[in-house]
Amino acid sequence: MGYRPPYGMTEQNLVGVKTKKYQLETSKYIKLAFLEVLRQQWWVFLIAVGVAAVGFIFPKAAVWFIVAAVVGLILYLLFWLVQFVGVTQLDQFKVMFERFSYELNGKTILMRVNAKEGMQFSWDNIKKAEKQKDAFMLHISRAQFIYLPFSIFNSEHDLRLTEALLRRKNLLPPKPEATNETAA
């Protein structure tokens, strides 16, 4: 069965959504990007625990294994933190922190600075999307994403249209069908 727009919507009213202007703060970017790396690279913590556990095999050197695991983990986390803080300082990434309004339609994502200036993204550039408790996050790469808080949408209808568009583009999983189970 193919895609069916939710809430009785048709393909025609999935044409586009315009948002209010929004500027991603650098501190919010650092937090979101850092948490995303932690989520993607959770296995690093397992390696650190494994190295510390090796210390119990060699009791005389246990302290060194534990120290190596902790220092290695701290250095790894600092490496990523410095990377994301650095992104906020580079001129080529300054555009990520400008104030944009967004226009989403079936073909593109348009990020507008004003009525005449903007950038256009194809949906093919979006690797994945996720619906968080207060925003949509569209991942372009590990360090680049489009963050769309629900507060920038003009109405609940626009929010539902955006979610339907993301599902139609297979960036969000399909909504589970409601089952009407009746007792026999």
| DSSP secondary structure of 24-71 | --HHHHHHHHHHHHHHHTTHHHHHHHHHHHHHHHSGGGHHHHHHHHHH
The pLDDT tens digits for 135-159 are: 999 998 877 888 999 999 998 999 9
The pLDDT tens digits for 115-128 are: 888 888 888 889 99
12: pLDDT confidence band, cut at 50, 70 and 90? very low
Cα distance from N-terminal residue to C-terminal residue, the chain: 27
